[in-house]
Amino acid sequence: MHHVLVSDVMTTDVVSVGPDDSFAQVVRVMNGTGVRAVPVLSEHGALLGVVSEADLMATAARPAGEERPWWRPRHVHRRHSGAKAGAATAEQLMSTHVETVHPWTRVAAAARRMRAGELRWMPVTDAEGTVVGVLSRSDVLGVFLRDDEEIRAEIERDVFGRALSADPERVRAEVDDGVVTLLGELPTRSDVEIARHLVSGMDGVVAIVDRLHYQVDDRGTDLPVVPFA
């Protein structure tokens, strides 16, 4: 089965700043592009940190010498000691230890990480730590706009056909706005569980309505066996 990777949906035109860029330059970049945070990159494209609106506002609003708890930006796993009053450059403003993702990661896995960490976006880095793109929530959600017929055809071809070698006359899938209904009968309970697992991991599948039955319970437990109609 084909799985959508981060590299398939990420934004490659990355808006960024350098560590020596001034407070005013960072503000101009963010206001000019409409973004709420920008990665701070070295001259070779390595990720050094991220400056968010929260970093800018906190620095602008904090009187000199004042210390107080910080709101944690949602692209950041944890902060360094924090921006200080009078921070003049992106390096002084930025948050470090930023959550990142690789381009070869499946979008479904990236989505789980974003949800678990309540992240709005993540920089995408290659094996050397060079930023090659940015993954946002809208990029992830775009996967679920996949065509229903394409999903149905993949289930019947790759799950029922290649993976399970099922009789095409005895099983079928229906898809409506990403909600998959599995219908029919497979030889064993294990086959049914495999089908559920494979379909649940497919890109674009929002939910599963399971109406599959089986002929033989090869798992040794008592569950209802409903004949195929």
pLDDT of residue 43: 92
DSSP symbol at 107: H
Among 105-109, 136-140, 166-170, 221-225, the minimum mean pLDDT is found in: 221-225
Q: What is the pLDDT of residue 8?
A: 93
Region of residue 192 (left: phi > 0; alpha: psi -120 to 50; beta: else): alpha
Indicate the average pLDDT of the chain: 85
Q: What is the pLDDT of residues 70-90, one digit of tens each?
A: 444 445 444 444 445 567 899
What local confidence, expressed as pLDDT, does residue 85 receive? Answer: 55
Crossing angle of helices 23-33 and 53-61, rounded to 10°: 140
DSSP secondary structure, 7-69, as one string: HHH-B-S---B-TT-BHHHHHHHHHHHT-SEEEEE-TTSBEEEEEEHHHHHHHHHSPTT----
State the pLDDT confidence band at 221, using cuts at 50, 70 and 90.
low
Percent of the chain with pLDDT over 90: 60
Closest by CA position to 14, among listed 177, 130, 156, 143: 130
Q: Pairing mode, if any, of strands 207-216 and 179-188? A: parallel
**Which residues neighbour 108 within 8 Å (Cβ) at sequence distance 6 or greater?**
3, 4, 143, 201, 203
The per-residue pLDDT for range 114-146, each reduced to its tens digit, is 988 889 899 999 999 999 999 999 999 888 888
CA gap 74, 53 in Å, rounded: 11
Please state, in angstroms and rounded to a whole number, the distance separating the CA atoms of residues 19 and 186.
59
* pLDDT on residue 224: 52
DSSP alpha helix (H) spans, the chain: 6-9, 23-33, 53-61, 90-93, 107-117, 137-141, 148-154, 189-200
pLDDT on residue 206: 87
Give how far the C-alpha of residue 179 lies from the chain's centroid of Cα atoms, to the nearest Å: 19
Confidence of residue 58 (pLDDT cuts 50, 70, 90): confident
pLDDT at position 213 over 80: yes
pTM listed for this prediction:
0.67
